């Protein structure tokens, strides 16, 4: 299987997969570090696209957003629930990724 060019990857979809998938894996397996592996792998994959497509400034901003979303989901979950929190931060991260990177391809 050939590795896709970073410009052919939807970074919004990959970042959404990382946030939702990481949470789901951690929740269903009870192994939080395994969820972190999913989160990290997707973040690296999306980051590759951000860097190649939009440069280091956008990649840094989106990387910070991605990690910030992960961090923000925890206190937000105490207020609105786990799944609504994950979906909220994921939607914001994916929308920003689409706006700064994917919409330009």
Domain ranges of the chain: 11-104
Verdict on whether the full-model pTM lies above 0.95: no
> Closest by alpha carbon to 90, among 74, 63, 66?
66
Residue 76 near residue 85, CB atoms below 8 Å:
yes
Q: What secondary structure does DSSP assign to 4-29, as a single string?
A: PPGGGS-HHHHHHHHHHHHHHHHHHH
Work out the mean pLDDT of the chain and round it to a whole number: 93
pLDDT tens-digit readout, 39-90: 999 999 999 999 999 999 999 999 999 999 999 999 999 999 999 999 999 9
């Amino acid at each position: 299987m050939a590795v896709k060019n970073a410009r052919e990857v939807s970074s919004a979809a990959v970042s959404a997969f990382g946030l939702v998938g990481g949470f789901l894996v951690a929740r269903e397996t009870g192994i939080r570090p395994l969820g972190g592996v999913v989160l990290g792998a997707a973040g690296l994959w999306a980051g590759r696209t951000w860097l190649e497509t939009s440069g280091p400034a956008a990649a840094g901003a989106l990387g910070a957003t991605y990690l910030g979303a992960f961090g923000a989901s925890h206190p937000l979950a105490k207020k609105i629930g786990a799944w609504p929190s994950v979906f909220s931060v994921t939607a914001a991260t994916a929308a920003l990724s689409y706006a700064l990177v994917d919409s330009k391809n």
